[in-house]
Structure 1
Amino acid sequence: MSSLVVIDRSPDPERTDPGRARGPTIASWVRAMGPNRTGALLLVAGTLLAVLWANGSHGTYEAFWDTHLTIGVADLNLDFTLHALVNDALMAVFFFTVGLEVRREFAIGELTSRSRAVVPVVAAVCGLLVPSLLYVLIARDTGWANAWGVVISTDTAFLVGGLALVGPRAAGRLRIFLLALAVVDDIGALTVIALVYTGDFTPQPLLVAAAGLAGIWFTRYVPTGRGPIYATLAIIVWFAFLASGVHPTLAGVAVALLVPVYRPSRRDVEHALRLARTFRQSPTTQYARAAANSLRESISINERLQSAYAPYVSFVILPVFALANAGVQISGDVLTAAATSAVTWGIVVALVVGKFVGVFGSTMLVRAFGVGELGPGLTPGRVAGGAALCGVGFTLSLFIVDLAISDPAVQNQARVGVLLASVLAFGIAAIVFRVTERSPREAEVGQVLQRPVDPERDHVFGPADAPLTLVEYGDFQCGFCLKTAGTIQEVVRELGGSLRYVWRHAPLLRYHPNAVAAAEASEAAALQGKFFEFERALFADQEHQQPTDILERADRLGLDLEKFEKDLTSPAVAARVRDDMLDAEAMDITAVPTLFVNGRRHTAPHDAQSLIHALLRTGRADDAPAPGGGRRSGPGGRKDPGRASA
């Protein structure tokens, strides 16, 4: 049988509820567009509205955002303009959420591999250096060469939104890569502001910030009530950065990188389930509160904060930020002056060309010299599109214009350069993505196995040097994967030692909520040399894959339970499963089982004879014995991976 697409047949409340409005709603529109695209469109709308406002109603735009707010008691007062409130406070929340996501990726996600983490770091550093050098070369005779800081920063908000609008559909790894790059970029740019463009830098408050950050680190050891402590210390750190003269958005990143992230403990999950069952039997307020608290505490505060703040960041903070910052006045005199200004063209060339050369060039060099690696799906075409998108410099670029340039006329020229560069970078990125995604090489991404089989990493049954290879991306809770089990067992018997069979994870979260937990459990069993035994046990009883069931299987297989439970929550196990899932996304695997025969996606029927024919036809026929050859055991004495028949 061919790869089957699972169809969601759950009832649509908008169709089944007669009391619900039949017409489209905002919620249904957001679901259809997706939260990332919706947020990006709101960001673009805020930008266009700001430009129209600034040019259509002279003076009111600046007057509104220069409105002062004073908060305080007696002699202790804080005075902010609305513009500063958006850029210093609301954007600190945005950088906080970005830092949370990057912290998660470094701890238990894609960037746990040092060889992969080093690539965005190097790309970010080169993306800071190359544009600044280009700007200095072009603007060295203008008297404003010291404004090189305008071109060093990539606007993280527009980068994320732009990727959602014009990036590839399967952009998981690219988004992680660009987010990590953007965080390093922002830290570098904010550090430059503090060291180069801050005239009233006061180091003493940073001692308070350091103490607050240390407190945030140690708060993880407080048994309960950590939320209010984190919030209080985060506010103290933010005020300390503000008092020091360092841009306070850096406080958001610093705090986020110290917030702990971990995999849920199986014991905590079991405790939460017991409390939920107790509440079901005796629905009282006391049990409801206990069950809710237990469920919440079983998830790391990093992930809880990400899910809590994400909608506000996408739908409120970023559009308001664009509205407050994109109001560049564009008049005929300003455009005429900008057209012949070395400052304007220095900014445009530095952001559009410099960022691309710095990010894309360094990434390709790092990969070529073997210093770091790109995950499967991060093709040169996609990296090129992301590098072009990095030329969108907005927030900090406009902020540094006011700090580095004192002449109002030159400031206007610089703002035009920033705006023009951002538009050009966005347009070039859209073209690069469109062209590369349609190129024959990119079109092959979903048809060719992106990561070659690695016997040191993959779960392989059969000789490591077997001439024929069958790779399955599957889900332990999928009934179709179970039905394919007997087929694969027959193929293994027929081809014997000429075949190596590889299992990789592609859990369908939408349909199988326990599939990720089962995949992680199999990886924990693999660390004790019993992956295929655990795999068979999972397929033998797909209906029972709760935490207690997982532990019972491990006990029956004779695993060290203490080590097994510890490994279940380890970053390495979580990252391994997520790595396979990102591979599957990069290859547009939306249904399981998906098979790759000798490195190419198998789209023909999945019966044994069809698979055998495809393997022999596309494999190294000279090395492959005729069907029916004796079966050999795999490396390390691995047993037959055949599972319970359907």
Structure 2
Amino acid sequence: MDSEKIISENTWLGSNRRLAKTIGRPVRKFLGIEASSGILLVIAALVALIWANSPWSNSYHDLWDTEIMISFGESISLEHHGHPLTLGQFVNDVLMVLFFFVVGLEIKREMVTGHLKKFRDALLPMIAAVGGMVVPAVIFFVFNSSGEASDGWGIPMATDIAFAIGVVSLLGPRVPSAMKVFLLTLAIVDDIGGILVIAFFYTDDLASGWLFVAALTVFGVIVLKKLNVRYTPVYIACGFLLWYSLFESGVHATIAGVVMGLLAPATALINDKNTVSEAVQPAMQAQTDFSGLRKATFHLNESVPITERFENLLHPLTGFLIVPIFALANAGVEISSDSLSDAASSGVTRGVVVGLVVGKIVGVSFFTFVAVRLRVSTLPNGSNFRHIFGISAIAGIGFTVSMFITALAYDNVILQDESKVGILLASALAAIIGLFLLRSVKVVEQEASFLEENKEVAQFN
């Protein structure tokens, strides 16, 4: 987001009031920093750790274990295995739907107008992402080849986009913008892989009737799109129906967010600038009535793709509120000499740490190296294999999605805690190693073609 947007003097934020000048505008400027959502995520995780290991630790667990009753009439109620949802489950199963909806929007935008549009441009990071998923999963399975612990093989496959991009942004121009694009594309493909893993491998017993309702809902949304229906409340209702049917079907309900994001139109309904200008001009000159203002608003809105509008609307909500709340609810692991000793000898913890730290570096780097050597693709402009090593280490920051898969993979609290310790340790190590490797690469003069790419990334940021 652009932190330099004009603030009207007629608003509180633009006024000369003391709170606006000393708190409001500085906070707004912080939220405009690329790394800000990652910083809030780290702060929330630290608060959870401190709280869970303080004299008030019982209040932490009591809060997230609080049962909440959510029902609509007598026929619709949200329950988990016959019991009301806890506050922690509400965060994971309900609030995180919006996070995955934004992920779906990002994937759709990249596929239609972004870095996944041209297969050739996306090929190298796609290959790297496959290596970054397969090798960590295999490493985890080596440490946990049997029993309940083996269910967590999907945990080290993930990359936290916000966290990873935030860490890389700390190095500024030391990291070529082409490598930021490489990391972004790799992380998006990782997200696609993680979503498929959640959909097909981390589901409960399936209820075919509710799956049929979900399929009908998706079909209905597709029909509405074909008919160019653009009334947002209709799609919100469809999204809720899809979410509830998947919740009841046994497929994890967050998949509804991804599906609705992928179904959202990524091109504008109105592309003719003259048409937009003709509708807006009278309103700009105060020569229209209320219906004219509505027409102008409609034309302005529909000149921007729905994916872009919803991303701009929901990204602050998910990045600055929902994901930090998720970290607060899930990162509270009790740490003691006994728990650390158990974690050090735990196959789950070792599998997660080695998978995310070593597996990502080996998988991403090796698959990239092979693809370049076989001339399947070429390295991004202005980069070398030292950049690839650094980016592959950063890709080991699995935080949010890894935590999410942990909650799906294990019902056993001990295994959950061992996994969370591994994720926290691995994410910290991955960030440190990645920063060290990327910082050690010399900044070189970039070619004109790369400078053009730099402008593209600046616009994205």
> What is the TM-score of this pair, normalised by structure 2?
0.84
Higher mean alpha-carbon deviation, 78-87 vs 348-357, is at: 78-87
Q: Which amino acid aligns with 2:278?
A: R
| Residue deviations 1:257-304 (CA, integer Å, cap 9, x gap) | 22111257553x322222222222424322212211111112221111
| Residue deviations 1:419-471 (CA, integer Å, cap 9, x gap) | 211211122122222222xx1xxx1143x3456xxxxxxxxxxxxxxxxxxxx
The match for 1:517 is none
The match for 2:76 is 76
Change (3 A) 1:584 1:295: closer
Q: Which amino acid aligns with 2:274?
A: E
The match for 2:440 is 435
The counterpart of 1:208, out of the listed 213, 233, 248, is 213
CA contact (8 A) 1:102 1:179 kept: no
Q: Which amino acid aligns with 1:67?
A: T
Measure the CA separation in 2 of the matches of 1:408 and 1:214. 39
Q: Is it true that 1:288 corresponds to 2:159 in the alignment?
A: no
Change (3 A) 1:54 1:86: same
Alignment of 1:165-564 (within 5 A): 165=170, 173-262=178-267, 265-267=270-272, 269-279=273-283, 280-377=285-382, 379-405=384-410, 408-436=413-441, 439=442, 443-446=443-446, 448-450=447-449
Query: Which one has the largest radius of gyration?
Result: 1
Measure the CA separation in 2 of the matches of 1:99 and 1:265. 23
| Residue deviations 1:514-553 (CA, integer Å, cap 9, x gap) | xxxxxxxxxxxxxxxxxxxxxxxxxxxxxxxxxxxxxxxx
Measure the CA separation in 1 of the matches of 2:57 and 2:203. 30
Alignment of 1:56-135 (within 5 A): 56=54, 57-72=56-71, 73-79=73-79, 80-135=85-140
CA contact (8 A) 1:94 1:317 kept: yes
CA contact (8 A) 2:364 2:392 kept: yes
Matched residue SS, 2:265: coil
Specify every segment of 5 or more residues in structure 1 that has no aligned partner in the other structure, as ranges: 1-7, 452-579, 590-646
Q: Which structure is richer in relative contact order (CA contacts within 8 A, separation 6 or more)?
A: 2
Q: Give the CA deviation at 1:333.
A: 0.7
Q: Give the CA deviation at 1:114.
A: 0.9
CA contact (8 A) 1:351 1:421 kept: yes
After the TM superposition, list the runs of 4 or more consecutive aligned residues in structure 1 that deviate by more than 6 angstroms. Answer: 10-14
Measure the CA separation in 2 of the matches of 1:122 and 1:32. 35
Measure the CA separation in 2 of the matches of 1:53 and 1:11. 37
Measure the CA separation in 2 of the matches of 1:11 and 1:96. 29
CA contact (8 A) 2:349 2:419 kept: yes
CA contact (8 A) 2:30 2:36 kept: no
The counterpart of 1:39, out of the listed 37, 40, 47, is 37
Measure the CA separation in 2 of the matches of 1:297 and 1:360. 42
| Residue deviations 1:361-389 (CA, integer Å, cap 9, x gap) | 21232233232345435554443333212
Give the length in aligned residue pairs: 443
Q: Give the CA deviation at 1:324.
A: 1.4
Measure the CA separation in 1 of the matches of 2:102 and 2:64. 25
Matched residue SS, 1:424: helix
Change (3 A) 1:407 1:11: closer
The match for 1:521 is none
CA contact (8 A) 1:40 1:165 kept: no
CA contact (8 A) 2:31 2:37 kept: no
> What is the TM-score of this pair, normalised by structure 1?
0.62
RMSD of aligned C-alpha atoms?
Answer: 3.2
Measure the CA separation in 2 of the matches of 1:311 and 1:121. 27
Percent of pairs with identical residues? 35
**Higher helix content, 1 or 2:** 2
Q: Give the CA deviation at 1:185.
A: 2.5
Q: Give the CA deviation at 1:70.
A: 1.6
The counterpart of 2:156, out of the listed 133, 151, 162, is 151
Q: Which amino acid aligns with 2:111?
A: F
| Residue deviations 1:315-356 (CA, integer Å, cap 9, x gap) | 212221211111111111101222233332222111110012
Measure the CA separation in 2 of the matches of 1:140 and 1:164. 38
Measure the CA separation in 1 of the matches of 2:256 and 2:182. 22
The counterpart of 1:52, out of the listed 36, 41, 50, is 50
CA contact (8 A) 2:168 2:175 kept: no
Change (3 A) 1:414 1:97: closer
Specify every segment of 5 or more residues in structure 2 that has no aligned partner in the other structure, as ranges: 80-84
Alignment of 1:529-608 (within 5 A): 581-584=452-455
CA contact (8 A) 1:97 1:310 kept: yes
CA contact (8 A) 2:156 2:352 kept: yes
Measure the CA separation in 2 of the matches of 1:378 and 1:103. 27
CA contact (8 A) 1:167 1:430 kept: no
Measure the CA separation in 1 of the matches of 2:30 and 2:261. 31
Measure the CA separation in 1 of the matches of 2:280 and 2:90. 42
Matched residue SS, 1:110: coil
Q: Give the CA deviation at 1:225.
A: 3.8
